[in-house]
Structure 1
Amino acid sequence: MSARAPEHRLWSAHRDLIETAVRTDLTHPFRSGQPHFPGFGDERRETVFSLEGGDGFTVHRYTLVGQWGTHVDPPSHFVAGARTLDRIPVEEMILPLVVLDVADRVRTDPDTTPTLDDVRSWERRNGRVPAGSFVALRTGWSRRWPDPVAMTNRDEDGVSHTPGWSAEVLRYLFEEVDATAIGHEQSDTDPGIAGSAGDCALEAYVLGRDRWQIELMTNLDRLPEAGALIVATWPRPLGGSGFPARAFALHHP
């Protein structure tokens, strides 16, 4: 009679996750014509081989900038000599996921930024923001994707009105909590008014502290504000300063 097979703990954990957890994609599919920074060219996609054309397989050639669609910004995006994509370890790619929600205020004030009161309120309900966590700012802005006019939301003077982070909240997350990374639905860390004035101080602060971020996230409204995990992945170009990312959340219904 054969001995009973050993229980593999990770396989058991995976089975439990599959049976009990919801998996929510936090990534926009990217394509030509989507919103992008004006200084970037549009994506070009060429068919190199095609099943329809009689080839034995289909292959596309993609030409795009690293900061394209839902993407990761490593520290080297703003800081010379800082960590590049290939130097961010896999240990930082599975993290507790905190969702800081200011979407209700954004509906009436697109220039909304989070406050320490928002964080304290979250902590009263859920306990202290975990060290090593990924903190996502939910603004509802992803509903505007992929309309470039709606995403930038410029007034008659050309000033962009979009939500963003605040210095006080970022300082708390990185200097007191020791969060690992942040993410947001809009295209920039800094609110649109600041970006229109050429002010990227908040993004410079995040990357200058050797942290990374994911921009242009989606589906944050489907997540609980606490208790989820994020799995954030991307290719590993040597010396890479940014790349489209694939991120998803694991959470209970």
Structure 2
Amino acid sequence: MAAPLSLWEVYRAAFAGAIFTDLSHAFHPGQPRFSAFPDEERQLVFDYPKGDAFQVHRYAFVGQWGTHVDPPVHFVEGGRAVDDLPVSDMLLPLVVLDIREKVAASPDATPELSDIVAWEERNGPIPAGCFVALRTGWSSRWPDNERFYNRSADGVSHCPGWSRAVLEELFEKRGIVAIGHEQIDTDPGMATSKGDFSLEHYVLSRDRWQVELLANLDGLPEAGALIMASWPKAKGGSGFPARAVAIHR
């Protein structure tokens, strides 16, 4: 009987010629953010022009800053924090649900159950234990805050989001682990403009997690890729900037 391949051998065989696509925005002061959050503050504590032998920054920002992870405790008292999310969740099969055509026709678009049906007709069943990313094309507006919120004259934000029917289908019937999206919130802009964050509450109340403000989803295959997402292990943390990478061919 042949000896099982070592993980080094699996890595060389599986990832030879693979493409690694960065799905995170580089964060910085002045970027798009939830309107109630303060801007990032950044200070050079040590720097070469000062005569120091090294450079060190001090950063001050909210946990939900730039491309970031939302653990359950962000919306659910007593829920899991960032340090409770298992590292085994940080490498998952990636499903990309594409609604760019709908968003081009209406910025308030959300996915429908028919989008899942069409995806599965092309690719087979959505695998349990995967990460589903909503591709809307919205990240192309980064880092323009006005274009990201896309407010009409009455102050209402018009940007895409998820739908309750699709989230229930994915979490309760497909058994997925997490979701991600390009926009600032899980809920569409017309909902958040009214203070309605019920879809984000739904996701996190299911003891699942999400990554917001993903980038570079446009070049990914809708099936067959992996996502690697990681974040610092802040004890009891309710959110933190994340680094997400798609591995694909």
Residue 236 of structure 2 is aligned with which of 212, 224, 239?
Answer: 239
Q: Which residue of 1 aligns with 2:211?
A: 214
- Structure 1 residues 116-173: Cα deviation after superposition (integer angstroms, max 9, x where no partner): 0000000011111100000000000000000000000001100000000000000000
Matches within 5 A, 1:126-145: 126-145=123-142
Question: Is 1:54 the equivalent of 2:64?
Answer: no
Question: Identity over the aligned pairs, expressed in percent?
Answer: 60
Question: Is 1:249 the equivalent of 2:246?
Answer: yes
- Structure 1 residues 202-251: Cα deviation after superposition (integer angstroms, max 9, x where no partner): 00000000000000001111100000000000000000000000000100
Q: Which runs of no fewer than 5 residues in structure 2 stay unpaired?
A: none
Of 12-21 and 95-104, more deviation after overlay is shown by 12-21
**Post-superposition offset of 1:8:** 6.1
Question: Is 1:109 the equivalent of 2:120?
Answer: no
Question: Is 1:66 the equivalent of 2:63?
Answer: yes
Of 150-159 and 6-15, more deviation after overlay is shown by 6-15
**4+ runs deviating over 4 angstroms:** none
Q: CA RMSD in A?
A: 1.2
**Post-superposition offset of 1:11:** 1.0
Question: Is 1:194 the equivalent of 2:191?
Answer: yes
Residue 145 of structure 2 is aligned with which of 145, 148, 153?
Answer: 148
- Distance in 1, matches of 2:160 and 2:237, equals 28
- Structure 1 residues 78-120: Cα deviation after superposition (integer angstroms, max 9, x where no partner): 0000000000000111000000000011011000000000000
**Post-superposition offset of 1:7:** 8.7
- Give the AA of the match of 2:170: L
Q: Which residue of 1 aligns with 2:156?
A: 159
* TM-score with structure 2 setting the length: 0.97
- Give the AA of the match of 2:167: L
Number of equivalences: 247
Q: Which residue of 2 aligns with 1:3?
A: none
- Distance in 2, matches of 1:250 and 1:59, equals 31
- Give the AA of the match of 1:195: T
- Give the AA of the match of 1:44: E
Question: Residue 20 of structure 1: SS of its match in structure 2?
Answer: coil
- Distance in 2, matches of 1:9 and 1:118, equals 39
- Distance in 2, matches of 1:63 and 1:109, equals 36
Question: Is 1:16 the equivalent of 2:13?
Answer: yes
